[in-house]
């Protein structure tokens, strides 16, 4: 992946019809770029529609929002890494704040998922971030480092396999609040330092994205901040015009 990276997490939005319309609009205005990477994380039932819309646009990558750690089995409603890979996914979101705080996903489950993604030959984008209470109590950095260590703990090829990390302060997601560029830089530096402890020089080439109430107004300042390699965008990625402006930041 070439930085800067702009990743759209559509969450539970944009069914196949809306997704098709979105992609037609976006692609008509966004020609192939060689100096950045665009990623879409559509909902599972819209994945095929987005993939079909891309055609030969190999400059745009696709990922899934979640997977189970088993490759197959009696897990109704779940999605496996082999299924995601077969559909054309290149990346997998792991440990998004909503998975952790709405669905109760644990650090160990994130670790199992990252290991499954590695085993399946895809790239995990591990999401880490603190709550407002943790930030105000001075535990933000310790929380993020713990989530990072735990999430990567079951991976066996950290020195060889690509990974990505997304820092998303929970208090800034969908609230209209966002970390300042200085806040993002400080936490991204802490993440980079921890990655160096875990995988040595590989840390210098690991992309660290910021996510949390990103919009066309603050995207240029955030992406220009030191140590910010990209943006993971939620709500603003649902509007083709807003997403186009962010992707051009």
Buried/exposed 134-157: b ≥16 CB within 10 Å, e otherwise: bbeeeebbebbbebbbbbbbbbee
Model pLDDT for residues 210-239, shown as the tens digit of each residue: 999 999 999 999 999 999 999 999 999 999
168 as an active site residue: the answer is: yes
Catalytic pick among 98, 118, 168, 194: 168
56 as an active site residue: the answer is: no
Report the CATH number that the domain containing residue 36 is assigned in CATH: 3.20.20.70
When divided into structural domains, the chain yields a total of 1
Query: Among residues of the chain, what percentage have pLDDT more than 90?
Result: 93
Question: Which residue(s) pair with 230 in the sheet?
Answer: 5, 209
Average pLDDT, the chain: 96
Model pLDDT for residues 106-154, shown as the tens digit of each residue: 999 999 999 999 999 999 999 999 998 999 999 999 999 999 999 999 9
For residue 41, name the pLDDT band (cuts at 50, 70, 90).
very high
Model pLDDT for residues 175-195, shown as the tens digit of each residue: 777 789 999 999 999 999 999
For residue 40, name the pLDDT band (cuts at 50, 70, 90).
very high
In which domain, by residue range, is 26 found?
5-247
Query: Among residues of the chain, what percentage have pLDDT more than 70?
Result: 100
State how beta strands 91-94 and 60-64 pair.
parallel
Q: By the 8 A CB rule, do 152 and 198 touch?
A: yes
Please determine, for residue 249, whether its predicted confidence score (pLDDT) is greater than 90: yes
- Region 90-117 average pLDDT: 97
Per-residue pLDDT at 175: 74
Q: At 81, phi and psi to the nearest 5?
A: -65, -45
Q: Where are the alpha helices (DSSP H) in the chain?
A: 16-29, 47-54, 81-87, 97-101, 107-119, 132-136, 140-152, 181-199, 219-224, 240-247
CA–CA gap between residue 164 and residue 209 (Å, rounded): 8
Catalytic pick among 96, 105, 118, 194: 96
């Amino acid at each position: 992946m070439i930085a800067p990276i702009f990743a759209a997490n559509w969450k539970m939005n944009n069914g196949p019809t809306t997704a098709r319309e979105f992609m037609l609009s976006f692609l008509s205005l966004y020609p192939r770029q060689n100096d950045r990477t665009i990623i879409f994380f559509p909902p599972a039932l819209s994945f095929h529609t987005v993939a079909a819309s891309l055609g030969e646009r190999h400059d745009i990558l696709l990922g899934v929002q979640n997977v189970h750690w088993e490759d197959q089995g009696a897990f109704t409603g779940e999605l496996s890494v082999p299924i995601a890979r077969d559909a054309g996914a290149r990346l997998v979101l792991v440990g998004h704040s909503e998975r952790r705080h709405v669905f109760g996903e644990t650090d160990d489950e994130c670790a199992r998922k990252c290991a499954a993604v590695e085993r399946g030959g895809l790239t995990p984008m591990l999401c880490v971030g603190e709550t407002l209470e943790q930030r105000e109590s001075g535990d933000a950095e310790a929380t993020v480092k713990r989530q990072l260590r735990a999430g990567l703990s079951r991976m066996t090829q950290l020195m060889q396999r690509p990974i990505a990390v997304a820092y998303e302060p929970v208090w800034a997601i969908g609230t209209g609040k966002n970390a300042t560029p200085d806040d993002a830089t400080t936490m991204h530096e802490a993440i980079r330092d921890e990655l160096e402890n875990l995988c040595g020089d590989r840390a210098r080439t690991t992309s660290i994205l910021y996510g949390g109430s990103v919009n066309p107004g603050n995207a240029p300042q955030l992406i220009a901040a030191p140590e910010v390699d990209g943006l993971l965008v939620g709500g603003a990625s649902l509007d083709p015009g807003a997403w186009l402006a962010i992707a051009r930041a």
